[in-house]
Amino acid sequence: MTSLWSKLRLNTQIAIASSTLLAVTILITTAFNVHTQQTTMRDALLQNSMALGRNLSSTITYHSIQSEYDAIEESLLKSAEFPEVKSIKLYDLNGAIQNNIIRKKSGEIIISYANKSTLLPLQLKNRVESLTIINKNTLFIWYPLKTTNVIGWLNLEISLAELNKRRADIIKRNVIGSVIAIVLNILILLVILITPTKKIQSAINVTQQLDSLKPKLTKESGGSHDLNKLFSALNSVALRLNAQHTEIQNQTYELTQNNIELSYAKDELELSKERFDRAINGANDGLWDYSLETSKVWCSQRFNSLLSQNRIDISTNIQINEFINYFHPDDSKAIKLIFNSKIIANETLDIQCRLRTDDKEYTWFRIRGRKYNNSEGIPVHIAGSLMDISEQIRVDKMKDEFVSTISHELRTPLTSIKGSLELINSGVMGEVNKKMIPLLDIACRNSEHLSQLINDILDISKIESGNVDSHLEKIELVNFLKETIELNQGMAIKFNVALSLNAEVSNAWINLDKRSLHKIMNNLISNAIKFSDNEKEVSVRLLKHKTHYRIAIKDTGLGISKEYQPFLFTKFTQEQSSLTRSVGGSGLGLSIAKSLIEQLKGDLSYTTSATEGTTFFVDLPAINNK
């Protein structure tokens, strides 16, 4: 059946399919119309019959009460004139027929008074309402005759033959109309589809020629709108195929060029890798990469050689716990916290620690690195380098020991020299020659400067060795700052600078080492005085800052240059400018101040501007003095 259908021409297929669809549609519509009309006629007949029975029962009941039997007979005969009425019967409660009017097939109406008994339907027993029964082609309607009670029954027998005849006529007319419509539809479709079928055949020919680059185009007219659009699309496809063939040729050429460039890029990548390897080897640093997902650490060959002097390599990929075991016990706790918490402050890592080498000795190394996140911002790697700084540590230790030794060896004779100069200047040893006074003043100032330098060096040495003597006591900051400013008034007068105190809080208590705090404040205030302009003011301000008390020391100088700021708290460093050379200094004051503040659990920070000077902030932990 399928093969037979596929052999039919398109117009025949369309005609058959559309005619079948039309036939089904007409049949459904016809059935619906017949049903609707039949239901309407039946409902109308039923309503009319019910109305007839209702009126007749009321009339008969009324005349029965009045004993007007002639009127009853007249009403029955008049009702029997309706063509659908086959008979009208009156029954008493015992089932005896009182009146019987019958319509014969000839249309003659006869009346009889049979007064014979019959069986009433069982549904009428104890019933006071009307009853409708349909039996084949007849409709039976029973209406009660009642006053206060039911005294009898009225029976109407209605014929449905006429109704069925009308239904047959309706079906006949609809079927004939459907057949005529289907035949006309087939003929019209066959005529209409002749031209489009020819156009479709032309389109098929174009499609079969699309494998060539220059197909013969079809004329875009003579068919329906949709077919013309189809032909236009087919023609466009044919032209586009030709253009795409040319484009593919061009892309093939470009792909060839890209392959050549890719080959050059691959060679360049290999060269870059070689340069990277040479640079890493030249830097003498080992590389490491910790995967947070696998908890394994990759170590480069140079990393292994730094720990294994005999070239006995540790595993290239080791578990993090095994990696941490190479660290000195005093350092492994901090290292474990960093790697296990997956957190590196400021995204970078830069620490000095000791690692065990293959000779079971610990060597100082510098580990630097940073964490790397995936596209979702989740840390996945911590990677960096390992540098051997054992020689640097050894040199720093020798330097510290040398500085400490020299400082102690210089302090005793310098104290004697300073004391002798002060005695000479005081006149105890006799009157001093006026020509010698300037030279003695210079010698006194230089000895004082040298004494301060030695004291600073000794302070740095004590701080770095952890031997700073600390005596905690409660200090009220307002009075302490007044005392400190008073001690620095002499220097302020010398540099023609005013000192001021602005205390925004009162009863500000701290629990710190007073000697260390004096040294911190003297360093910061003396620096502010030295770097402020003449006839300007150095302000000291006390305020509450979160859980700390903040002391702000502001000068009116030229600020700190960006180039020098990274080295501001480094030992023995000073900004190279004409101003710093004129005021002098050891370059240790800020380094000492920062170290002492950190030991006091405080913080030292600053802001600087070329137009507004520099402000140093000393934050000290507050206590509740109750």
Q: Which residue has the higher pLDDT, 544 or 311?
A: 544
Cα within 13 Å of Cα(524), Cβ side: 29
Higher pLDDT, 371 or 57: 371
Q: Which residues contact 85 (CB under 8 A, 6 or more apart)?
A: 52, 79, 103, 156, 157, 158, 159
Position 344 pLDDT exceeds 90: no
Asked if 367 and 354 touch (Cβ cutoff 8 Å), the reply is no
Percentages of the chain per state (helix, strand, coil), in multiples of 5: 55, 20, 25
Containing H/E element for 265? helix 225-283
- Helix 437-465 × helix 390-426 angle, to 10°: 150
Rounded CA-CA distance 91/157 in Å is 14
Pairing state of beta strands 498-503 and 537-545?
Answer: parallel
**Distance, CA of 373 to chain centre:** 17
Other Cβ atoms within 10 Å of 447 Cβ, number = 18
Query: What residue type is assigned to position 326 of the chain?
Result: Y
- What's the pLDDT tens digit per position in 446-499? 777 777 777 777 777 777 666 677 788 899 999 999 999 998 998 899 889 999
- Parallel, antiparallel, or unpaired for β 613-621 and 548-554? antiparallel
Contact 230, 199 (CB under 8 A): no
Per-residue confidence at 198, pLDDT binned at 50, 70, 90? low
- What pLDDT was estimated at residue 618? 93
Which two tokens mark 344? Answer: 């590196």
Whether pLDDT at 113 is above 70:
no
Contact 549, 511 (CB under 8 A): no
Instruction: Band the pLDDT of 269: cuts 50, 70, 90.
Output: confident
Amino acid at 453: L
Residue 403: closest CA among 329, 452, 461, 347: 461
Confidence of residue 422 (pLDDT cuts 50, 70, 90): confident
Q: Are 292 and 382 in contact (CB under 8 A)?
A: yes
Strands (DSSP E) contained in 105-166 are 109-112, 131-135, 138-146, 150-159
State mean pLDDT over 595-603.
85
Give the whole-angstrom CA distance, residue 411 versus residue 576. Answer: 28
Say which range, 59-63, 220-224, 355-359, has the weakest mean pLDDT: 220-224
The answer, yes or no, to whether residue 581 has pLDDT greater than 50, is no
Closest CA to 314 of 324, 303, 325: 303
With tokens 């507050």, the residue in question is: 622
CA distance 463 to 472: 17
Amino acid present at 275: R
pLDDT of res. 132: 79
What CA–CA distance (Å, rounded) separates 411 from 587?
A: 19
Range with top average pLDDT, 245-259, 490-504, 556-570, 581-595: 490-504
With a cut of 80, say whether residue 383 has pLDDT above it: yes
Q: Which residue has the tokens 């360049």?
A: 268
621 versus 244: which is more confidently predicted? Answer: 621
Q: What confidence tier does 104 reach under pLDDT thresholds 50, 70, 90?
A: low
What pLDDT, on the 0 to 100 scale, is given for residue 379?
Answer: 85
Residue 109's pLDDT is: 67
* CA terminus-to-terminus distance, the chain: 108
Three-class SS string for 547-613? CEEEEEEECCCCCCCCCCHHHCCCCCCCCCCHHHHHHCCCCCHHHHHHHHHHHCCCEEEEEEECCCE
| Tens digit of each residue's pLDDT (9 = 90 or more) over 300-334 | 878 888 877 544 455 567 888 888 888 888 888 87
Please give the pLDDT value at position 540: 93
Instruction: Return the SS3 of 451.
Output: helix
- Name the least confident of 335-349, 409-423, 528-542: 335-349
Q: Where does the pLDDT of residue 539 fall: very low under 50, low under 70, confident under 90, or very high at 90 and above?
A: very high
Tokens read off for 409: 């060896």
Cβ atoms 565, 616 nearer than 8 A:
no
Give CA angle at 553 (552, 559), nearest 5°: 115
State the CB neighbour count (10 A cutoff) for residue 364.
19
Per residue in 137-175, pLDDT (tens digit) is 777 888 787 777 777 887 777 777 777 777 777 777 777
Q: How far apart are CA 608 and CA 597, in angstroms?
A: 20
pLDDT at 550: 94
Read off the pLDDT of each residue in 431-444 and give the average, rounded to a whole number. Answer: 77
Q: Does residue 119 sit in helix, strand or coil?
A: coil
CB 96 within 8 A of CB 111: no
- Closest among 464, 466, 477, 467 to 512, alpha carbons compared: 477
In this structure, of 58-67, 166-175, 336-345, the range with the lowest mean pLDDT score is 336-345
Half-sphere exposure of residue 618: CA atoms within 13 angstroms, side-chain side: 29
User: What is the average pLDDT score of the chain?
Assistant: 77
The stretch 239-252 carries a mean pLDDT of: 80
52 compared with 550, residue with greater pLDDT: 550
Predicted local distance difference test score (pLDDT) of residue 311 = 45
Q: What pLDDT, on the 0 to 100 scale, is given for residue 448?
A: 74
CB 229 within 8 A of CB 218: no
- Looking at residues 605-611, what average pLDDT do you find? 88
Span 71-86, average pLDDT: 71
Neighbouring CB atoms inside 10 A of 471's CB total 9
Q: Using alpha carbons, list the distances in angstroms from residue 488 to 211, 293, 589.
A: 101, 59, 15
The rounded distance, in Å, linking the Cα atoms of 463 and 591 is 10
Which CATH number applies to 284-388?
3.30.450.20
Per-residue confidence (pLDDT) for residue 552, from 0 to 100: 94
The answer regarding whether domain 470-621 maps to CATH 3.40.50.300 reads no
SS3 state at 353: strand
Domain ranges of the chain: 11-167, 284-388, 395-461, 470-621
pLDDT of res. 388? 86
Per-residue pLDDT, 401: 75
- According to DSSP H, which parts of 135-224 are helical? 161-192, 194-208
Is the dihedral angle over the CA atoms 150, 154, 160, 162 positive or is it negative? negative
Q: Which residue has the higher pLDDT, 212 or 95?
A: 95
Query: What is the arrangement of strands in the sheet containing 109-112, beginning at the earlier edge strand?
Result: 109-112, 97-103, 85-92, 150-159, 138-146, 131-135
Least confident of 111-115, 142-146, 223-227, 296-300: 223-227
**11-167 and 284-388, same CATH topology:** yes
- H/E element holding 540? strand 537-545
For domain 11-167, the question of CATH label 2.30.110.10 is answered with no
118 to each of 102, 130, 178, 390, 531, how far by Cα in Å?
A: 17, 19, 51, 135, 140
